[in-house]
């Protein structure tokens, strides 16, 4: 029961971050489930099944607050679904022994990317026009594939790219990514069920993640205009790196004092990044 409560709280926090940043739910939740002992395929399958519910509610909430560009959703969601189905099928074919370090490596890399993106990110001037199919289709295909194989990654791939493109306002980017993720989650779930069957999914974990995520989804859509995304991005990126470092260090045969010192360095770097962003935010307000 304690594990389920922790997972529900993590699902709430992950959806709050995801709905505010356009990323973080899948990465954070998959990291937690792998840490709890699930195989990468089972963790990703459980997370994506929970996301079918959370992304549907999140998309509706973002639409009500005017955060969704449906022109972009139509052009990125279908390629994203195709990529997610292919990624789920690939991950399901790997053995647990080979998949776990691979998944943790991908999650750790994405964690670093998220952290650096929000630590070093600068505001951009919005460009005129809308992103078209040539830009959105390959972005969706890659984002969906990474999302399924890494247990998350739709947001970290698509959100920064759309922000960098500059043709959608930040709140529209986050709302568009959140709304289109419903198709990605549904397609990934179909891929996992086709390859693994229903026995690989831990329904109690899915229910806990879903319960926390459903509470947070409408709150995040409302707060997206008010929370500081840089601080949240650095926090969630560091958390992803922190929890996946254990698997990577163990796979490399690092134990004892070197294992401890590696974590000390990681936590120190994470703390400095958070402090740097807090200081930057304070200076901007002066």
Q: 22 in helix, strand or coil?
A: coil
DSSP string covering 107-151: HHHHHHHHHHHHHH----PPPSS---HHHHHHHHHHHHHHHHHHT
Q: How far is CA 132 from the centre of its chain?
A: 24
Determine the structural domain holding residue 273 and report its residue range.
Answer: 2-285
pLDDT at 39 over 60: yes
Please say whether the dihedral angle defined by the alpha carbons of residues 91, 92, 98 and 101, taken in this order, is positive or negative. Answer: positive
Residue that the structure tokens 């304070």 belong to: 282
Q: What share of the chain in percent tops pLDDT 70?
A: 88
Question: pTM here?
Answer: 0.72
**179 falls in which pLDDT band (50, 70, 90)?**
very high
Q: 16 in helix, strand or coil?
A: helix
pLDDT digits (tens, 9 = 90+) for 98-121: 666 777 787 788 778 878 877 886
pLDDT digits (tens, 9 = 90+) for 152-177: 778 878 887 887 787 888 788 888 99
**198 falls in which pLDDT band (50, 70, 90)?**
low
How many domains are there within the chain?
1
């Amino acid at each position: 029961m304690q594990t389920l409560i922790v997972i529900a709280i993590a699902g709430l926090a992950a959806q709050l971050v995801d709905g505010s940043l356009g990323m973080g739910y899948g990465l954070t939740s998959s990291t937690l489930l792998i840490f709890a002992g699930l195989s990468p395929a089972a963790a990703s399958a459980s997370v994506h099944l929970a996301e079918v519910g959370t992304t549907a509610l999140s998309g509706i909430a973002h639409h009500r607050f005017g955060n969704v560009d449906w022109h972009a959703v139509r052009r990125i969601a279908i390629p994203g679904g195709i990529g997610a189905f292919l990624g789920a099928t690939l991950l399901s074919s790997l053995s647990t022994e080979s998949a776990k370090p691979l998944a943790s490596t991908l999650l750790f890399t994405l964690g670093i990317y998220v952290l650096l993106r929000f630590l070093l990110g600068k505001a951009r001037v919005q460009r005129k026009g809308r992103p078209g199919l040539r830009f959105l289709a390959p972005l969706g295909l890659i984002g969906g594939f990474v999302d399924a194989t890494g247990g998350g990654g739709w947001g970290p791939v698509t959100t920064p790219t759309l922000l960098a493109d500059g043709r959608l306002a930040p709140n529209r980017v986050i709302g568009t990514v959140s709304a289109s993720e419903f198709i990605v989650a549904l397609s990934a779930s179909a891929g996992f069920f086709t390859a693994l069957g229903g026995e690989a999914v831990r329904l109690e974990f899915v229910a806990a993640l879903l319960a926390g995520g459903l509470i947070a989804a409408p709150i995040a859509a409302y707060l997206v205009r008010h929370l500081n995304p840089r601080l949240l991005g650095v926090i969630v990126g560091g958390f992803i790196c922190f929890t996946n470092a254990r698997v990577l260090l163990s796979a490399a045969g690092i134990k004892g004092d070197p294992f401890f010192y590696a974590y000390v360095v990681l936590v120190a770097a994470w703390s400095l990044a958070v402090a740097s962003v807090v200081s930057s935010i304070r200076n901007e307000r002066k």
